[in-house]
Amino acid sequence: MDVPEDADLQVQRASPDLIVDLHISLEPFLWRTDTAAPAGVRTRRVRRRVRAREADRIVALLEPFQELPQLLDPHLQTLVPILADAFIASLQSKPLKKTSYTKLLIPLSKAICRLLYTFCKIRGEKVIVRFLSTDTKHLELLLSAIEAGDVDAHQDAGAEDARQANEDQVADQWEWEHRYITLLWLSQLLLAPFDLSTLSSLNTDVTPPAISGLLLPTNTPGVTLRVVSLALRYLSSSGKERDAAKILLVRIAMRRDMQALGLLDALIKWSIASFDPPEVSEQTSSYHYIGVLSFLSGILNASLATSDMDGYLGTIFRILQGEWYREVMDVVNRSVVARKAVLTVLRNICVIVLRSPEFMNEMVEVIEITIGTILESLTDSATPVRLAASKSLSVITLKLPTDMATQVVDEVLASLMRDVTVVTRGQEQTQNLSLVNPSEWHGLILTLSQLLYRRSPPASSLCEILPALLAGLSFEQRSTSGASLGTNVRDAACFGIWAIARRYTTSELQAINISKAAIASKHGTKCSILQILATELVVTASLDPAGNIRRGSSAALQELIGRHPNTIEEGIKLVQVVDYHVVALRSRAITEVAVQASRLSIWYLEGILNGLLGWRGIGDPDASARRTTAVVYGNLANLGAVNDLITKFSELKPREDHERHGMLLCVASYYTKHREYESFDIGGVLQYANDTKHRRVDLIAEAVSRLIISVTPTGLKQNDLIIGLLNKWLRRTETEVIEATAEAAFTVVQSLSCERKAAVFSGWIAVITENQGGRSGQDQGILSALFQAFPVAELSQGTIVSAIHRRWNLVHDVESRAAILRYLTSSTALTTNLEEFSDLIIDGLDDYTTTARGDVGSLVRIEALKSTSAILKASSTHCNPELAMKLYSKTLRLAAEKLDKVRVEAQQAVSHILSSNIFPSSLDTSDAFLSYPTTSEPYFRFILNLCFNKPEVHSLGAAELLSGYVGSANTGSEELVRASRAALVAFCLLSEDNSRLICGALVAVLKVNLTNDRVLVPTLEAIAFLFDMQIFQDSGVDWKTLHITVQKSHFKTGNIRKLEAAIHVYGGLGEFYAPAIEKLTTMAIHPFPRVRERVVDTMFVVKGVGKGVNWPKAGKLDLLKLK
Amino acid sequence: MLSILRKARLKDKEMRILMLGLDNAGKTTIVKRIMGEDVNTVSPTLGFIIKTIEYEGYKLNIWDVGGQKTLRSYWRNYFEKTDALIWVVDATDRLRIDDCREELHGLLQEERLSGACLLVFANKTDVNGCMDPEEIREGLQLNAIKTHQWHIIRCSAIASTNLQEGLAWVVQDAKNRLFLF
């Protein structure tokens, strides 16, 4: 139910490091310092290509700032110009040679543009572009570069095959980042305050682009022709460069000299004409229209408060209404981005029209139709369109005369209420929002919020707006598949309340007529509207399932209390409790914020209790959220409220399983906390649970069990019914259910008479011994209950012990074994009856069951290790020395085995052994041991020392330890192999004794495990490894014995890994023991080609013979060549 | 909502200031002095410069455009969304005060500058015999300006006097108008 920590907090902490890293990395990334030159006169040259990985790394340094862009601001001034200068320098340098292409390198210019684009993405292109040089001399350079890059692209697109053959060209092509950055930069350069016609160097012969519908004035300067043709080409592209092309085109069209020349007119006419293409094909790219629309919108935006565009408004408006070119508009309306662009164009038209009253009267029809269109778009299924529509509507409304503005607000409110039905329950009237369209509500509430943000509605209309906002703040719907809808509605409402708090004065808000506004909330008329808002915000901030809503509410609450001091109860304390960062975690928001806020005032307590009983608490689809809810509810509620709850329980509809679960947990939690049961009769609930068929039995089982636990001490009357129910539920497999029912069973059994108890136990024993569990796991609940109830079992204890042993051996299934050990660990039987159960633990420590799922025995081993820890932690007096030694040596083996999670658990167990009184001397080393990571060299060194430096231990333990250790040293992860091997070698090199001990023990392990491949193969490899390290040579092992043992180990085997390991050992042995070489020689014509290959390789290494023969086809005669 | 707030916070406290005036009035020198850069190597601006200054937590984006006669007709390219106009006058240049007045009054007619406030920097007041503010006010007929908030201040970019005070007025005025809430 909780999500990990927030990204913005992380970036705030990490940002200084990231910035420093950026500063350090950029210079060497972009420039190559000429090291040949003497120091002091070193020149630098810009790099041609850079490593793609380094580029990725630097981009990754920037990405985190997306969360808090302002952190970058102080550094833009230095960082962006560094990149820009290098870009210019790389464009000026000679073109790349196309030979040295590898995928690991990318052209520098591409890397720079990627970085600049990342900056733009994070901080906004308008900001970044300010830091680009405005030197006019770059105009020609950039313009030529983008034109050249363009030509490349076209040639390649023409010849797909050529591209395949000529991969290097693909790499050096200009990509969209190049074009995006270059077009942006050009748009900045075109601010130059000169006539473009005077930029003579750029005005060499340029043929005007042939674009249909575009009639450029005859004396257009060359540079304009080039820019316009570029911009128009990319205006129809699908990539990000479209935005930059739009900015460039708007910029050049709005230039004074270009306007005078008639360029603006020409471009507008072209745009209008492009809605009337000679033929409309389905294939016409919608990007073309999106580009044209965004150009129009940009032009209108740039001429907002001016009369530049007055002449065209009507025409553009009618096109967008689809009056003339219906086919084109159909294409447009299919694209979300285009619909959004249409809305912004309409908005800009309206704003221009509204500039002067006379003009407005002339075009009043335009305004009315536009507002109608936007209202329709508020219900659009695409979120960006709704966002644009709500913003547009608020911008327009702000400019409208008062009476029209009021009409708009009324219309929005009316649309909100259209599908709302009012349910009357007694005197209470509640709104039913289940029929409304959540997208529409989102659009409408967002519009209200945007209006409030601009302070458009007069304060007098707030009393109608506020109920809508409050309804929106707790809006939720379930989709047909059960997913929660309406988060965006709550978000919009939160924004609206924030805006109200910010834009309206205290007195305005206090003047609001409560009786009207209180409809939407349950607060009555006693408190002020500010208090109602605060209460609702507290509830949302502590209970809402969505993190950003909780944080949004917290922000709004801060605004509300800060701007309207002394109007809200315990305001300052409330702000401290409902902290922006604390509410980020949901569990913390419920368990801490809700509880602390409730203590501040009855308003918050009532609000939160109500909220807990709603969809944000007991109705939450997430079971863990309901459990948390119940805990908090139990703390806060009083008896009256709980009794109400019990009444409501009977009114629940059959399908409301979540609510039922939540409610029962709430009641249980209350009684656990308060212990005043007289008034409560559990019988009704039990009867209900027994009689009704449930869709989610697990939930009912868990909740009723919790209820039984919470009221048991009073003595229950319905024991038979309860035991019947529990026996049924104990067969379930869900963890939460097992936990709750087993505990309930334990509490109930305690209060039973001896005979009844015995009967219950024998029923349970029958289930586990006769394998009634059926599918594995179905008797886990019973196992848990048996272990919990073991101390009170009295006479039945002996039967239980033998039953559990029978269960252990009955069917070898890993889950049951793990479960038995798990419940044993948490039971007191572990210490009281250790003698009886110790064999299970020892058996568990040796469980290496492997199935198709892999090493599932590790589950059992881990549980057994936990049991071991528990035994030693409790007190070692329970543990006789013989058992202790056994546990110790096995634990040590597991501490060195290859599975990480097993090692971690074993580390704990070993440290418990060290600190217990079995080895009084080693008390102080246990902490040091715990501090080692389990995949590190010191960790393994410690284990080896522990085992071999204690003579009383190693006789028993050495072989045991090494049988686990070889696994780590051979088949573990790379890091593990390295750490364990390094520790082994270091230990052996320490003294000759050490290496003798190790080598001897390895041979012993080999002898014992001749049939156990799991240990055998890694042991052979370990011996071979020690030969390679020149350690085994001095071990004093009898070579003959070793040779024979190894031969036995792979006798008639088909296991290639084993054969390879054996060959490896023979190779080491062969240097000084001739029979090993003979054996190798015979294996050179082994039936398996892989084996032959290894043999010959080994022979070549040992004796330098055997090359020049086709060994896979070799016969017996070829063996002579090995002599 | 959080993204809207975040966006609003980014745009908050950011101002666009246009720095204009006749050539050789000292616009670039003022900008460089405020930025703490070297002012001895200033040459006529043939184009424009954008600088960002942090002032009392406000981010001032100053657009410094060249004042040569040929460039003046392009000033209006930069008017978009301007919050404040800083008009720099060379207080030693009595000859061109009429020219200066005409340019200023022409600017103030522009629709797009209607929302901006006007700060007149009387620069080079460290030179003896320069015009005093009264004289400039007369010469520029500032009293006739009814459409904009205006303020005149003596300063010297070379001696670095009164520059901060000028910015302070701009920020204060903008605070009063723009950041009401």
pLDDT tens digits, residue range A208-257? 666 666 777 777 788 888 888 888 888 888 888 888 998 888 888 888 78
Q: Which residues contact A653 (CB under 8 A, 6 or more apart)?
A: none
Instruction: Provide residues of B within 8 Å CB-CB of chain A.
Output: 1-2, 4-5, 9-10, 46-50, 52, 54, 59, 61, 65-66, 70-71, 73-78, 80, 111-112, 114, 181
DSSP one-letter string for A82-102:
HHHHHHHHHHHSPPPPSS---
Contact A961, A892 (CB under 8 A): yes
Domain membership of residue A1079 (yes or no) is: yes
CA–CA gap between residue A522 and residue A520 (Å, rounded): 7
Best CA proximity match to A785, nearest among A709, A874, A700: A709
Burial class (CB in 10 A: 0-12, 13-18, 19+), A138: buried
How many C-beta atoms surround the C-beta of residue A940 within 10 A? Answer: 27
DSSP per residue over A378-414, as a string?
Answer: TT-SSHHHHHHHHHHHHHHHHHS-HHHHHHHHHHHHH
- Reply yes or no on whether the pLDDT at A160 is more than 50: no
Burial of residue A846 (number of CB atoms within 10 Å: 0-12, 13-18, 19+): middle
d(CA B15, CA B62): 8
Cα(A541)–Cα(A547) distance, integer angstroms: 9
* Count of C-beta atoms within a 10 Å radius of residue A593: 23
Question: Best of B1, B43, B75 to disrupt the A interface by mutation (most A CBs within 10 Å)?
Answer: B1
Which residues of A make CB contacts under 8 Å with B?
69-70, 73-74, 77, 124, 130-131, 134-136, 191-194, 254-257, 302, 305-307, 455, 491-492, 494-495, 498, 502-503, 548, 551-552, 555-556
pLDDT at A538: 92
* Contact assignment for B65 to A193 by CB distance below 8 Å: yes
Number of C-beta neighbours around residue A438 at 10 A = 17
The answer to whether residues A833 and A846 touch, using CB atoms and an 8 Å cutoff, is: no
What does the alpha-carbon distance between residue A968 and residue A764 come to, in Å, rounded to a whole number? 42
- pLDDT higher than threshold 60 for residue A170: no
The answer on pLDDT for A564 being more than 50 is yes
Flag whether pLDDT at A951 surpasses 70.
Answer: no
Tokens of A917: 């009184």
Per the prediction, chain B carries an average pLDDT of: 82
In contact, A107 and A171? CB cutoff 8 Å: yes
CA distance A909 to chain B (A): 48
Domain that holds residue A1090: 1038-1122
The CB-side HSE value for A661 (13 A sphere, CA atoms) comes to 29
Strand partners, A423: A430
Find, in chain B, the residue whose alpha carbon is nearest to that of A308.
B111
Cα–Cα distance between B68 and A198 in angstroms, integer?
Answer: 15
Q: Is residue B3 part of a domain?
A: no
SS3 A422: strand
Residues of A in contact with B7 (CB under 8 A): none
Indicate the residue of A77, A131, A193 with minimum beta-carbon distance to B71: A193
3 state DSSP class of A421: strand
Amino acid at A601: S
pLDDT band for position A981 (cuts 50, 70, 90): very high
Total beta-carbon pairs less than 8 A apart between chain A and chain B: 70
Instruction: Tell me A4's DSSP state.
Output: P
Provide the pLDDT for residue A156.
Answer: 46
Res. A1093: pLDDT tops 70: yes
Contact at CB, B73 and A256, closer than 8 angstroms: yes
Cα A1063–Cα A1064–Cα A1068 angle in degrees, nearest 5:
110
Q: How does pLDDT run across A497-547, given as a tens digit for each residue?
A: 999 988 888 888 888 876 655 554 555 556 788 888 898 899 999 999 888
Residue with tokens 């979300």: A336
Q: What global pTM score does this model have?
A: 0.74
Which amino acid makes up residue B90?
D
Give the least confident one: A164-178, A723-737, A870-884, A936-950.
Answer: A164-178
Dihedral sign for Cα atoms in the order A747, A750, A751, A754: positive
Instruction: State which H helix or E strand residue A484 sits in.
Output: strand A484-485
pLDDT band at residue A164, thresholds of 50, 70 and 90? Answer: very low
> Residue range A669-674: average pLDDT?
83
- The C-alpha atoms of residue A441 and residue A730 are separated, in whole angstroms, by 46
Determine whether the interchain pair A305/B111 forms a contact, defined as Cβ–Cβ distance below 8 Å. Answer: yes
Residue B28 labelled as part of a binding site:
yes
Evaluate whether residue B141 is within a structural domain.
yes
Q: Which of A793, A804, A784 is nearest to A742 (CA)?
A: A784
CB A302 within 8 Å of CB A292 = no
Q: Assign B40 to helix, strand or coil.
A: coil
Quote the CA–CA distance of B156 and B134 in Å, as a whole number: 17
Does the pLDDT of residue A927 top 80, yes or no?
no
Neighbours of A635 (CB within 10 A): 15
Structure tokens at A473: 């703040």
- Stretch among A260-274, A329-343, A438-452, A949-963 having the lowest mean pLDDT: A949-963
How remote is the C-alpha of B77 from its chain's centroid?
16
Say if residues A135 and A190 touch (Cβ distance below 8 Å): no
pLDDT of the residue at A520: 47
User: β-pairing, B84-90 with B117-123?
Assistant: parallel
For A207, which DSSP code?
Answer: P
Phi, psi (deg, nearest 5) at residue A498: -55, -45
Does A130 contact B111 at a Cβ distance shorter than 8 Å? Answer: no
| pLDDT under 70: residue ranges of chain B | 1-2, 5-12, 177-181
* Residue where the block lists tokens 């024979």: A1044
* C-alpha span between B157 and B121 (Å, rounded): 10
Residue B14, classed as helix, strand or coil, is strand
Distance of CA A268 to the CA centre of its chain: 47
Q: In terms of DSSP bridges, do strands B14-21 and B84-90 run parallel, antiparallel, or are they unpaired? A: parallel
pLDDT: which is higher, A922 or A827 = A827
- Measured N-to-C along each axis, helices A176-189 and A222-235 cross at an angle, to the nearest 10 degrees, of 140
CATH code for the domain of B55: 3.40.50.300
pLDDT band at A877 (very low <50, low <70, confident <90, very high): low
The C-alpha atoms of residue A249 and residue A183 are separated, in whole angstroms, by 10
From the list B12, B23, B4, B165, the residue with the least C-alpha distance to B93 is B23
pLDDT at A540: 92
Contact B77 A130 (CB under 8 A): no
Which range (A124-128, A582-586, A920-924) has the least confidence?
A920-924
* Confidence check on the interface: ipTM exceeds 0.90, yes or no: no
Torsion of the alpha carbons at A345, A349, A351 and A353, rounded to the nearest 10? 180
Could you tell me if residue B166 is inside a domain?
yes
Domain count, chain A: 1
Give the residue among A1005, A995, A1080 at the shortest CA–CA distance from A1032. A995
The number of distinct structural domains making up chain B is: 1
User: Does residue B120 belong to any structural domain of this protein?
Assistant: yes
* pLDDT score of A167 more than 50: no
pLDDT of residue A129: 86
- What gap in Å lies between CA A928 and CA A798, rounded to an integer? 42
Q: In the predicted model, what is the mean pLDDT of residues A814-838?
A: 84
The residue segments making up the domain with residue B111 are 14-38+45-178
| From B68, B141, B164, B172, active-site residue | B68
Query: Is B25 marked within a binding site?
Result: yes
Residue B45, marked binder = yes
Residue B75: its chain A contacts at CB < 8 A? Answer: 193
Distances (CA, A) of B170 to A510, A737, B17, B180: 35, 69, 9, 15
**Cα A890 to Cα A788: distance, rounded to the nearest angstrom:** 28
Strand partners, B54: B59
Of the candidates A73, A74, A57, the one whose C-alpha atom is nearest the C-alpha of residue A22 is A57
For residue A324, pLDDT over 70 is answered with no
The residue type found at B104 is L
CA angle A90, A94, A99 (to 5 degrees): 105
Q: Is residue A1075 part of a domain?
A: yes
The residue of chain B nearest to residue A257, with distances taken between CA atoms, is B74
In angstroms, the CA A816 to CA B56 distance is 70
A713, two tokens: 């001490």
Q: Which of A567, A593, A565 is nearest to A578 (CA)?
A: A593
Q: Are A792 and A752 in contact (CB under 8 A)?
A: no
d(CA A569, nearest CA chain B) in Å: 24
- Could you tell me if residue A1066 is inside a domain? yes
Q: How far A70 CA sits from the closest chain B CA (Å)?
A: 7
How far is Cα A893 from Cα A43, in angstroms, rounded to an integer? 62
* Within a domain: B147: yes
Give the span between the Cα atoms of B151 and B171, in whole angstroms. Answer: 12
The residue that leads in pLDDT, A96 or A555, is A555
Asked whether the predicted pLDDT for residue A341 surpasses 60, the reply is yes
CA A1063 to chain centre: 48
Ramachandran category for residue A638: left, alpha or beta (phi over 0 → left; psi -120 to 50 → alpha): beta
Helices marked H in A419-517 — which ranges?
438-453, 462-473, 487-503, 506-510, 514-517
Q: Average pLDDT of A966-989?
A: 88
| Pairing verdict, β B58-65 and B48-55 | antiparallel
- CB neighbours (10 Å) of residue A1035? 22
Residue B135 lies in a domain: yes
Q: Can you point out the beta strands (E) in chain B?
A: 14-21, 48-55, 58-65, 84-90, 117-123, 150-154
Strand partners, A477: A485
CA of A306 vs chain B CAs: smallest distance (Å): 6
The pLDDT confidence band at residue A158, using thresholds 50, 70 and 90, is very low
Greater confidence, A197 or A463?
A: A463
Residue B7 lies in a domain: no
**Strand order through the sheet with B48-55:** B48-55, B58-65, B14-21, B84-90, B117-123, B150-154
Which of A291-305, A641-655, A909-923, B54-68 has the least mean pLDDT?
A: A909-923
Query: Is residue A306 domain-resident?
Result: no
